[in-house]
Structure 1
C-alpha cells in the first residue's frame, strides 16, 4: 500500500498477541548539507544512508541504492535554496529523476532529495490505549498507556510511523469524533469549518515502551512544545 491519510487502525492488524503494521511506501526528503556536497554516490552513502535508509554494511548500502535508482525511486531538486529562496513546495517541473547514470554527477549543498521507500515497522504489543480524560480548555489528553507499546517510534527519518501510542491514540480520537459528529449536526458543522487534524495528538511526556502508566499528549503541537 502507498502512504496516505489512513490511520494506525486502518494500517495494522492483530495476530498472536502482537500488532503488525502493513508495509507501506513513504516519500522522505533530505536536504544535502555543505559538509556532504559532492558526487551523488558519496551523498547517498555519507549523508542519506547514515539517516538509517539502508543497512550499515557497505555492500548492503551499495545494493540498496542500486535497486532504488534502477526503480527510479529517487529524485531531486538541484540547488533548491537558490530556486526556492523563500521556501515553499517545489513544483513538479523542478524535480529530476535520478538513476544509476547520475552517480558521478556533482550535487551541491542545498539540493533537496526525495526518496520513496518501503517501510516495514516493528510489531508491538496488541494492547490498545485508553483515553481517560480530555481537557478542552488546555488541550491536554490523559491516556492510560499499555505495556509493550512505544510512545513514539522512528519508522523512517522524520517519520514516527503507525505502530506507536501517539498514532493509536490519534486513531481512537478520530473514530470518537466521527461517532460524535454523526449524532450531532451542530458538532459536525463546526468540525467541518475547523482546520487541521481533529484527532491527532502530540507527545508531552514519554514513557519507556515496556512500561505502563499515564501518558499526557496534547491536541495541538503548540501545547506540546
Structure 2
C-alpha cells in the first residue's frame, strides 16, 4: 500500500461473502478506516477479524472533518473509506473527500467491488450496453422536472428507491412514460429474500399494491 493515500473500498450490499480479498487486505493495512456508520461496519470488520481503528465519516459531519482528513493524508496517513454498503460515492458519502484530496494532490484509488446498480441492471433483461444511473429522485421539489427531462431518454435508466416511496414512484413513471413501459424492480439483492419483479409499469405497480415492498430497491426502467 502507498503511504499518504485514500482508498475507497466497496463493502457487501448484503451477503458478507461479497467482499474481495484485496478489500480485506487494504482494510487490515490502513491506519484508519473512515466509516459511514461504525456500528454497521463494525459487524463486517468483526466477521473478518479486521482490527483497524474506525472513525465516523458521514453526510452530517463530512464538511466539518474533510480538511482534517485531507491534512492527515497529506502528512502520510493511509486511510480507507467505506460506506454502509456498496461503493463509497455512489449515493453515499465520498465525493466531497475525493474532490478535496485531488485538489490537494493526495492520491486516491477506488477498488472494484460490490454495488447494487450493476446486478439489478444486468438481471433486468433490459438493454445494458448503454444506461444512465439516476440514483434517488428528488423527494418533492424537482421530481416532476427530473422525470420530464427523462421522458425522451433512450438509454435504460437505473434508480434507487426506498420501499415506502416505490408505489408513488411507479405511479409517477406511468404518468410520464406510459403504463406499458417495461420495468424491473430488484429488492434485497444478495440477501436471503432477493427478488426481481419484471413487467410493464402497470403490471409491476399492481404486484406491489398487493404485496407491500420491503428492503432496499433498485428500479430499472426501459428507455424510450
Q: Same fold (TM over 0.5)?
A: no
Structure 1 length-normalised TM: 0.24
- TM-score, length-scaled by structure 2: 0.24
Higher gyration radius (CA): 1
